Structures are given as C-alpha cells and as structure tokens.
Amino acid sequence: MTARPRRLARIAAALAAGATLLAVTGCTQQGDGSTSHAASATATSTAPLRTIAAKAGLRVGVAVNTDQLADSAEYAKLVGQQFSTVTPENVMKWDATEPKLGTYDWTAADQLVAYAQQHDQLVRGHNLVWYQQLPAWLTAAAPSMSADQLRQVLKDHITAEVTHFKGKIWQWDVVNEAFDDTGQLRDDIFLEKLGPGYIADAFRWAHAADPDAKLFLNDYGIEDAGMKSTAELQFVQDLKSQGVPIDGVGFETHVDSTYAEPDLETELMRFAQAGFDVAVTEADVRAQTPIDADQVKTQSGIFADTVSACLDVPQCISYTIWGLDDKDSWVPSTFPGTGGATLYDEDLKPKPQFAAVQKALARGVATAKKRVK
C-alpha cells in the first residue's frame, strides 16, 4: 500500500513536532540542541495522554470495563492517570439500567461516575436508545405493544436515566447506530413502531431532563465518504433545522487495518462545517492475528492519523479509545481472527500504538490555539 500524500505530510509534521513532545513532557534538551535517545524514551513513556491532550485542547478518553475497574488496581490506575474522559463500555445501556420495566439499577454506572469525579474526568454517557443490549422484557413485549405504549416506555427510560445523571454527563449518545449499512434508518423495533420521529423525540426528552448535556447521535461506518455518512449528515441537518436539540455526531472509528484507511478528517470536517460538534467515540484498530511488526506499524499509523484528524478539526472535542487493553477489548470475540486493537497489551503494558497516539497528541499542541472547547 502506498502512503497517501496526506499521510506523508503527517509523517513530516511528526518529525518536526518531536521538539513539541519533549517540550510538553518537560524533557530538557542538551546544550547542543540534541536529546539523548534514553531521555526521549523516558519522556515518551511517562507523559500521560491526558496531560498532552489538555495542552492541545482535547479530551482523550477510554471505554471502561467496570468489573476491571473494581478488580484490578493497575487497570484503575491507568484509567485515572491517562484519560480525561471515560465512557461506560456497557453499564449505562438499557439492559443494565432497567432490568425490569420501571425498576432501575444505577449501581455500576454510579461507581464509574464517582470514579470519574474523583479523577477529574468528564463522562460520555453511552447510550440511551440502541437496537442492541435491550432488556429481555422489552424485546419480548415490544412487538405486541401499541405505538403509544412503546413511546411511553422509551420516554420514561430516557427521562429516568438522564435525570438520574443530571449534571454529571458531558456528552450523551442519545441514539446509537440509528442507520444501517446502506444509509437507511435502521429497521428496528423503534422505527417499525414509532416511525422516524422517535429520534427527534429522544433528543427532546433527553434535553428536557438535562439541558446542559451535549446530545450526540453516534454511529459507525460514517468515517469515510459514502451513502451512510451523506444520509446521516442530511438527517442531522434536518433535525437541526427543525429545532431538535442535537449538538453533535459521534464517529465510532472501529478500524480494520487490513482495509484502506478511512479519510476521517474530511468527514469530521463536513459535519463540523454543518454546525455540529464531532467526537471520535470508540476508536480501535484491529489486525489479523498473529500480528507482526509491520502490522503494528500500520496500526500505529492509523491511530496517529485518527488522532490528528480530530486535532485538525476544531469542533472535534474528544477522542475515545474503545477499551483500555487487548485483554478487555470487544474485538477478538466480535471479529474472530483479529485483535491487538487497543493501546495496551494483555499485561497492561503500553504498545507502540500508545507512543503513536502520544506523539500525535503532542503535534496538536502546536495548533491548540485554533481549537474550541
């Protein structure tokens, strides 16, 4: 695969930005302007991502497995040390929060929110409406509910959850993966029973419960130009023009490194120019196992490019990685034969992908003035 001109430009920028990384990590240069390899390696391994990202005006996040957070001191330490925003990987989803109709369980999600507050982190709430991980009672009952009944159940769920966390959530993924792979609204139980208006309703109900939270539509497969991203852009523009309280669009960014790299920056920019905040919400970069050094290089380059894409778009307010480490990643069980998709290995040691993200963030420090918070 030949590198695209844009990638080459970034490699050049990366080399030029070496000094920036040293500056933000507090490493001093020798009198002759050179820096020893050892000094630069130390700087690279000790500068937390969140510290560098803050200087670039960006929040960097991770999807948290709350069982690991409770059980592993090392896992918990890294989550607090490296990231300035957290996303619950599963514990704010409908099946976890409303195990019986009208009976709520916030225990695990509350623990994560408390952890985030103790570590000066913001929370991405994920998610309020999704066709997956619905509670069994809802999946069983929904087909025989009337539209009014299902609308009420949906409204009650969104209102209860957003009210419970009012004032504690920075961004909510209000509706998750609402489009299918062809760019049509997904033919799920909500569309079937309620029609497309359920999406506008969901945003209005969420806004009524917490007017200060930023409300996002979150999806995969919109990281490159195509039918899906074009349809979704049109859709959110329509929502906005109708006065629906939507603030942003989340780009999941689950990348398979064996395929052509998505042109994420162009897509982030298209949505940003239409007046939306954007965020990279679930970044991971998988490769076919066993993974060799060349694949690691490719994965590292893709991570760096997606971080740079976000940094280059002032409205890109956060960059979140889906899972702290390869042991806890959803990738191997979801895409058999692939793995290695996160920044840390199975023993919680940082991989070259970590250093690549670190360097890409450092490059953003130079352009920080252009960014909005």
Task: Give contact residues for ligand XIL (rule: CB under 6 A).
Answer: 89-90, 176, 252, 282, 330
Q: Which is nearer to ligand XIL, 25 or 318 (CB)?
A: 318
If the CB atoms of residues 134 and 365 are measured against ligand XIL, the closer one turns out to be 134
Quote the CA–CA distance of 361 and 371 in Å, as a whole number: 13
In terms of Cα–Cα distance, which of 75, 18, 93, 56 is closest to 318?
56
Q: What is the DSSP letter of 72?
A: -
Helices (H), the chain: 5-16, 18-25, 37-46, 49-55, 66-71, 73-82, 94-97, 107-118, 136-141, 147-164, 189-194, 197-209, 227-241, 264-273, 293-312, 331-334, 352-365
98 or 252: CB nearest ligand XIL: 252
Identified catalytic residue from 161, 177, 223, 252: 177
Q: How far apart are CA 304 and CA 297, in angstroms?
A: 10
- The three-state secondary structure class of 183 is coil
Instruction: Provide the minimum distance between the beta carbon of 262 and ligand XIL in the complex, in angstroms, as a whole number.
Output: 16
The token duo for 159 is 């209102």
Going 158 to 164 to 167 to 171, the CA torsion angle's sign is negative
CB atoms within 10 A of CB 338: 18
Nearer to ligand XIL, 191 or 321 (CB): 321
Smallest distance from ligand XIL to CB 113, Å? 17
Q: Minimal CA–CA distance to 217: which of 176, 189, 171, 162?
A: 176
Single-letter amino acid code for the residue at 203:
F
Q: Is 346 a catalytic residue?
A: no
Q: How far is the CB of 39 from ligand XIL (least distance, A)?
A: 38
Name which of 221 and 301 has its Cβ closer to ligand XIL. 221
Please give the backbone phi and psi of residue 365, each rounded to the nearest 5 degrees, phi first: -60, -35
267 catalytic? Reply is no
Minimum Å gap between C-beta 176 and ligand XIL is 5
Q: Which residues contact 287 (CB under 8 A, 6 or more apart)?
A: 257, 258, 295, 296, 298, 299, 338, 339, 340, 341
Q: In the bound complex, what is the minimum distance in angstroms from residue 37's beta carbon to ligand XIL? A: 37
Least separation in angstroms between CB 170 and ligand XIL = 17
Nearest to ligand XIL of 89, 188 (CB atom):
89
Residue 317 near residue 310 (C-beta atoms within 8 A) = no
Residue nearest to ligand XIL (CB): 330
Tell me which residues are annotated as active site: 177, 282
